[in-house]
Structure 1
Amino acid sequence: MTDTTPEPASGPTGPTDSTEPEGAAGPAARASLGDGLRFAFGTLTVLRVRVSRWDRAAARGGMLAAPLTGAVVGLASAALGVLLLLLGGGPLLAAVATVAVPAALTRGLHLDGLADTADGLGSGKPAEDALRIMKRSDIGPFGVVTLLFVLLGQVAAVSELYAEGWARGAAAAVVAAVAARLALTLAARAGVPAARPEGLGAAVAGVVPVRSAVAATAVTAVLCAAAGAAFGPDAAVRYAAAPLVAVAAAEVLLRRCRRRFGGVTGDVFGALAETAATAALLVTALG
């Protein structure tokens, strides 16, 4: 998620943080499952999905469905990595391709959000000035260094897993992508404010009930454990722990951003997703 302008009428091609939601839904407003899925895929991926509703009720369903978009992104990234392995490519080449797919399917917006958030946190400026730094189109030294180490860490972890077998690498790629989007669900829970009064950060801040966020976390951990069970009981434990460690790492960053900026922005959501994905990959790769 980052700071570009979406086009709700035709379906945004990526999460943004500069458009105010139209017609915020009241307590009685309801969004269908389809509305939530369209919101999720229309804002969290580049897939051409027509977002028919751009209000908080649809945002609630969309953020609860965020892990599902992660499963789709993860399957696509795993498919390319496995294809390269089957064609004779090495684990490192397959890992680079696997890490590149999520970036392509979000137009690099999560990575851009990570870099902007790093620049804002590292600027040492007051909140308003830091937020202005984050909205600039350039990337500063903090952002460059953060991107470098995060991408190196992701590639290294996936390469290690592919070296153990294509199935392990593929499963980890899916788990990491799901964990990354689960972090967004938790960051959109009730009680987490927006740092700005406009943008997608404001549209999704606080829309997910805490109980629903906890339930989504539990369901995700169980499904990840099931995926890891194919590789043995130890792997099942690691794969169950991966999303939990991922959201814990994202929570540390979220609390830092809340103290520093006063709340969340689209850039912060992007940074949380990349932080969670990296943590999940490290957990699955270790051991």
Structure 2
Amino acid sequence: MTARLLWNDLLSALGLLSRLPLPAHRFRGAEAAWAYPLAGLVLGAMSCLAGLLALGLSLPPAAAALICLGTAVALTGALHEDGLADVADGFWGGSTPERRLEIMKDSHLGSYGVIALVLGLLARFAALTALFAVPGGPWAVIAAAVLSRAVMPVLMATLPFARPDGLARSVGYPPMGTAMAAALIGIAFAYLGLGWKGSSAVLCLALVTLGLARLGQAKIGGQSGDLLGAGQQLAEITVLFVAIA
């Protein structure tokens, strides 16, 4: 794989997972999924830098956490948060796969979605506050951003499409080797950012991902863009909680 293709894949990943203004590139769909963790590295580093700048201005860790979190949401356009809310609404608001998918496609937010969104943001804020209060904590923040994007290609490669259209189908299935490459990048950053806790993070993440995959199969018959977004959110929360445990 050439350097130009690697660069194009990173741009493809960032173009899908963020709202960053990017140079012209060719969208490679699922073939670029190996670069999702690297996109997480870029986004995690940018949001973490915002938090560190807040600490440098003598703001307390809670303020740094809030700025980091707000930056992360702004960089992605709340893409993954929206997926988590839609999954909560659909999975527990509908009685059939068809009805659940219909609810997930609806732009209106229901009670389950609001609760999931609030709890998810609070969980990340609490963990970020704890991490910005200790030396080395920001490295764990970046590791969580990387690992949470490594989960997405694995779900993409192992679950069938739940609907005949939508974001997940437009991106396609990544080859299993592509998903494994993403997973290996994520594991490497788990140990770089979390040290000896990397093993616990990977194990907990595997269990959470397996549980979500089974739930998606049972509730809607497979994967959707919303499910992938929910997977990213749950994965990030899992890694952050392991880091502060």
Quote the offset at 1:200 in angstroms: 2.0
Q: Is the 8 A contact 1:96 1:155 kept in 2?
A: yes
Quote the offset at 1:122 in angstroms: 0.7
Answering whether residue 180 of structure 2 is matched by residue 214 of structure 1, we say yes
Structure 2: distance between partners of 1:159 and 1:224: 20
What secondary structure sits across from 2:19 in the alignment? Answer: coil
2:123 alignment counterpart:
153
Structure 2: distance between partners of 1:260 and 1:205: 21
1:175 alignment counterpart:
143
- Per-residue Cα deviation, 1:115-160 (whole angstroms, up to 9, x for no partner): 0000011113211111111111111111111111111111111111
TM-score, normalization by structure 2 = 0.91
Aligned length: 242
Quote the offset at 1:216 in angstroms: 3.0
1:47 alignment counterpart:
20
Structure 1: distance between partners of 2:208 and 2:69: 19
What code does the residue aligned with 2:166 have? G
Structure 2: distance between partners of 1:244 and 1:61: 26
Quote the offset at 1:205 in angstroms: 4.3
Answering whether residue 196 of structure 2 is matched by residue 223 of structure 1, we say no
What code does the residue aligned with 1:48 have? P
Quote the offset at 1:61 in angstroms: 2.9
What secondary structure sits across from 1:178 in the alignment? Answer: helix
Structure 2: distance between partners of 1:115 and 1:227: 28
What code does the residue aligned with 1:257 have? G
Greater CA drift, 256-265 or 113-122: 256-265
2:169 alignment counterpart:
202
Structure 1: distance between partners of 2:228 and 2:134: 32
Higher helix share: 2
Structure 2: distance between partners of 1:176 and 1:53: 28
2:242 alignment counterpart:
283
For structure 1, list consecutive stretches of 5 or more residues without a partner in the other structure: 1-30, 229-235
Which aligned pairs between 1:4-15 and structure 2 lie closer than 5 A? Answer: none
1:232 alignment counterpart:
none
- Per-residue Cα deviation, 1:62-104 (whole angstroms, up to 9, x for no partner): 2110000000011011101111111111111111111222211
Quote the offset at 1:271 in angstroms: 0.6
For structure 2, list consecutive stretches of 5 or more residues without a partner in the other structure: none
Q: Report % sequence identity.
A: 33
Structure 2: distance between partners of 1:45 and 1:60: 16
Quote the offset at 1:244 in angstroms: 4.3
Q: Is the 8 A contact 1:73 1:177 kept in 2?
A: yes
- Per-residue Cα deviation, 1:4-26 (whole angstroms, up to 9, x for no partner): xxxxxxxxxxxxxxxxxxxxxxx
- Per-residue Cα deviation, 1:23-76 (whole angstroms, up to 9, x for no partner): xxxxxxxx933442232111111112366545xxx2233211000000001101
Q: Is the 8 A contact 1:180 1:276 kept in 2?
A: yes
Greater CA drift, 63-72 or 117-126: 117-126
Structure 1: distance between partners of 2:237 and 2:103: 25
